[in-house]
Amino acid sequence: MVKLIDIFKKNFQADILDSHEQQGNETIVVSPERLHDVLGFAKNDPETLLNALMDLCAVDYLGQGPRFEVVYHLYSTSKNHRLRIKTRVPEENPKVKTCVDLWKSADWFEREAWDMLGIVFEGHPNLKRLLLFDGFEGHPLRKDYKINRRQKIPEPLERP
């Protein structure tokens, strides 16, 4: 059985910055510029057919550069294999191209990542807060967000 990592390495050569595998869990790391192409390939290539985006999340590596990591968990319903794709974005410009055009489920995942960690997804149709209220300041899952920081209490919503 051919490994997913090898398929991607064959097609993207140097754009696969890093890869590792443990217990059959395969992970590849790509640059944010090439991410969308890799995701598009992963979804549509007949060998991989990773047609389901199971999860999209972000990680804060405070003190490391680039600071944020965006993680995509993909699954193929026809081939029953999984792949994790990671990319690192810097603190001053945490931008990734959206993948809502590939998976509809990315819509809320990306909104959550923006809400909690402030990752910007370019081209997202409606990038606004998902879990928190509109007046919330900051991104609470960032590790430099003070635990005892308090927000302004929102006003009651008026009926439209």
Partner 1 sequence: MRLKVESKKMSSVVENNFLTTKLSELVAWGRKNSLWPLPFGTACCAIEFMGAVDSVFDISRFGAELVRFSPRQADLLLVLGTINYKQAPVLKKVYEQMTEPKWVVAVGSCATCGGFYDNYSVLQGIDEVIPVDVYVPGCPPRPESILLAIVRLQEKICKEAVGEKPELYIYKPHSVRK
Q: Does 128 bind partner 1 (CB under 8 A)?
A: no
Binding segment toward partner 1, per CB under 8 A, in 49-57, 71-79, 105-113, 139-147: 139-147
Binding segment toward partner 1, per CB under 8 A, in 25-33, 91-99, 101-109, 150-158: 150-158
Q: Does 130 bind partner 1 (CB under 8 A)?
A: no
Among 1, 2, 14, 147, binds partner 1 (CB under 8 A): 147
CB of 107 to partner 1, least distance (A): 21
Among 18, 90, 133, 143, binds partner 1 (CB under 8 A): 133
- What Rg, from alpha-carbon coordinates, does the chain have? 17
CB of 155 to partner 1, least distance (A): 6
- Omega before residue 66 within 30° of 0, cis: yes
Q: Does 132 bind partner 1 (CB under 8 A)?
A: yes
CB of 108 to partner 1, least distance (A): 17
CB of 153 to partner 1, least distance (A): 5
CB of 60 to partner 1, least distance (A): 14
- Which whole-number Å values give the CA distances from 66 to 60, 102, 104, in the listed order? 10, 26, 28
Positions touching partner 1 (CB under 8 A) are: 132-133, 136, 140, 145, 147-151, 153-157
